[in-house]
């Protein structure tokens, strides 16, 4: 019944859910675990700098200036917010040899001096002692030439729909709602509680996210991973079904995903699950209906009761009815 699948995929696409093939519709229908990336998926991913904490003998402006220039070439939401907070354009001529270490931060030469900007793990790896600000939020530490310059605290906002999306998923029968994040334990716990997740794993490197996901696969579980793809394309691929946030998401995510949510709304996942289940029901109805009618006509024929019109109905009539039934999947409730 490929027609029902096509019509189901068409129906979902009208609501901004792009499903890249019939098999994913089947997988979606059986979903019992949804794993989320934090940034850009459950949160808006539009960070803003809420705290600037320079070390002794460093000014706030100097700290921001160095951080923004180190982040010059990064398009991570964290980097964007730091450049915004600077309030003036970044001078690319002052930056060279920039590179990004996923799950850690960035490094670059700013005015010829080696600068690192990133989390506590990054500072540890270069042997710089960092101070931990008390306020809740994502922390970006900055070091230049081996000297600690201070920390920026950055906060993200939870999407308005995240909590109700979790409610909807639970009532659609999804039992495990898990968040994976590279961010700090405190930030993760705070979000997990506010959004209503059943579990979370924090302080993960991108490769840890793959193994965390693998730990949730198997045992008959059907697992979706939802992310914006910044650093998580491998996890998207590893899940039974990869769901990408299409508006904010990177091209790599949209490429790696099986399902793309055009407007980044996590509530669309539960809608997609319900729609997939309804489509599968229609597929099964059509198969059973077609087999039943054909069997009946065959039996009647063997008993000598069938005529040509009955045979025509069994063939064309059933096909027409199946098409009409399949078209119901084009409308998504």
Give residues in contact with ligand ADP (CB under 6 A). 37-39, 71, 74, 76, 78-79, 100, 103-106, 117-119, 138, 140, 181-183, 206, 230-231
- Binding of residue 81 to Mg ion (CB under 5 A): no
- Minimum distance between the CB of residue 274 and ligand ADP, rounded to whole angstroms? 27
Distance CA 49, CA 120 (A): 17
3-state secondary structure 280-312: HHHHHHHHHHHHHHHHHHHHHHHCCCCCHHHHH
C-beta separation of 36 from 179 below 8 A: yes
Residue 304 burial (10 A CB sphere; 0-12, 13-18, 19+): exposed
Query: Of 32, 37, 263, 265, which is the active-site residue?
Result: 37
Q: Which is nearer to Mg ion, 122 or 326 (CB)?
A: 122
- Binding of residue 230 to Mg ion (CB under 5 A): yes
Is 183 a residue of the active site? no
- Minimum distance between the CB of residue 281 and ligand ADP, rounded to whole angstroms? 36
Q: Which is nearer to Mg ion, 39 or 107 (CB)?
A: 39
- Binding of residue 74 to Mg ion (CB under 5 A): no
User: Exposed e or buried b for every residue in 72-111, given b needs 16+ CB within 10 A?
Assistant: bbbebbbbbbbbebbeeebeeeebeebebeebbbbbbebe
From the list ligand ADP, Mg ion, none, partner contacted by residue 141 (C-beta under 5 to 8 A by kind): none
From the list Mg ion, ligand ADP, none, partner contacted by residue 76 (C-beta under 5 to 8 A by kind): ligand ADP
- Chain centre distance of CA 89: 31
Residue with the shortest CB distance to Mg ion? 39
From the list ligand ADP, Mg ion, none, partner contacted by residue 258 (C-beta under 5 to 8 A by kind): none
Q: Which stretch binds Mg ion (CB under 5 A): 13-21, 35-43, 78-86, 88-96?
A: 35-43
Residue 51 φ/ψ, nearest 5 degrees: -150, 135
Binding site for Mg ion (CB under 5 A): 37, 39, 230
Active site residues: 37
């Amino acid at each position: 019944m490929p027609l029902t699948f096509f019509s189901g995929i068409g129906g979902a696409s009208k609501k901004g859910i792009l499903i890249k093939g019939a098999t994913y519709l089947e997988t979606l229908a059986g979903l019992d675990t949804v794993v989320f990336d934090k940034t850009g998926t459950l949160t808006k991913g539009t960070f803003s700098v809420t705290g600037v904490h320079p070390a002794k003998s460093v000014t706030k402006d100097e700290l921001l200036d160095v951080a923004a220039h180190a982040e010059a070439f990064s398009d991570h939401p964290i980097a964007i917010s730091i450049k915004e907070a600077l309030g003036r354009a970044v001078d690319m001529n002052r930056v060279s040899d920039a590179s990004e270490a996923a799950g850690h931060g960035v490094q670059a030469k700013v005015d010829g001096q080696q600068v690192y900007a990133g989390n506590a793990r990054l500072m540890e790896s270069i042997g710089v002692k960092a101070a931990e600000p008390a306020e809740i939020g994502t922390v970006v530490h900055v070091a230049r030439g081996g000297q600690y310059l201070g920390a920026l605290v950055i906060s993200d906002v939870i999407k308005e729909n995240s909590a109700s999306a979790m409610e909807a998923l639970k009532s659609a029968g999804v039992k495990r709602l898990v968040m994976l994040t590279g961010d700090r334990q405190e930030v993760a716990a705070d979000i997990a509680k506010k959004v209503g997740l059943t579990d979370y794993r924090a302080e993960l490197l991108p490769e840890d996210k793959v193994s965390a996901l693998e730990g949730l696969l198997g045992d008959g579980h059907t697992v979706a991973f939802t992310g914006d793809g910044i650093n998580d394309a491998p996890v998207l691929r590893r899940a039974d079904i990869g769901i990408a946030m299409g508006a904010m998401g990177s091209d790599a995510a949209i490429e790696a995903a099986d399902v793309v949510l055009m407007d980044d709304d996590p509530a669309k996942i539960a809608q997609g699950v319900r729609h997939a289940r309804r489509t599968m029901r229609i597929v099964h109805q059509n198969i059973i209906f077609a087999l039943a009618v054909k069997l009946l006509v065959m039996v009647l024929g063997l008993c000598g009761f069938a005529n040509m019109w009955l045979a025509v109905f069994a063939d064309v009539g059933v096909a027409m009815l199946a098409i009409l039934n399949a078209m119901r999947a084009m409308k998504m409730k």
